[in-house]
Amino acid sequence: MSTTSPARIGGWLLAPLAWLLMTLISTTLINIFYTRALFSAHSHQLLADQPAGQVMLWYLSLACAYAMWGYTLWLTVAFFKRRRTVPRHYIIWLLITVLLAVKSFAFAPVTDELAVRQLLFPLLAAAVLAPYFRHSARVKQTFTND
């Protein structure tokens, strides 16, 4: 009887894993800044001076940042455990990053050059990595755990 273990995380899978880890680090830093602002009296004063719609958008951004951090953390753990659901959730995660970049492009008062730069990498990553995660034999061999 031969037992074959699933393929290890390696090769081209290291690039999506690195991007996932970098996103986890950056969302952690964003959440630290949001949490510091949440407990700052100065921030509360600035929010109190804003219209209710702006305050609601700030809290919506806060909720989105925490949700994205949680989903990224869960996906990172599942990636290392080589869970069977990782390819599908990684594609969903890529689409969410594109949606968040589009949201920044549409609603943030930034220059077009900066917005295109922020939008380019998530679009490129989704265009390359989504088909890879969908069709690659390496991905199918690696993510086999329940």
Quote the pLDDT of residue 5: 64
Quote the pLDDT of residue 4: 60
Once rounded to an integer, what is the mean pLDDT over residues 19-41?
90
**Other CB atoms within 10 Å distance of the CB of residue 61:** 14
Could you report the per-residue pLDDT of 92-141, keeping only the tens digit for each? 999 999 998 888 777 777 777 887 888 898 899 999 999 999 998 888 88
What span, in angstroms and rounded, lies between the C-alpha atoms of 14 and 108?
A: 32
Once rounded to an integer, what is the mean pLDDT over residues 3-27?
84
pLDDT at residue 6 above 60? yes
What span, in angstroms and rounded, lies between the C-alpha atoms of 42 and 15?
A: 41
Closest CA to 13 of 21, 3, 25: 21
pLDDT band at 17 (very low <50, low <70, confident <90, very high): very high
Closest CA to 33 of 8, 16, 58: 58
Q: Are the C-beta atoms of 68 and 26 separated by less than 8 Å?
A: no
Could you report the per-residue pLDDT of 32-70, keeping only the tens digit for each? 988 888 888 888 788 788 888 888 888 888 898 899 999
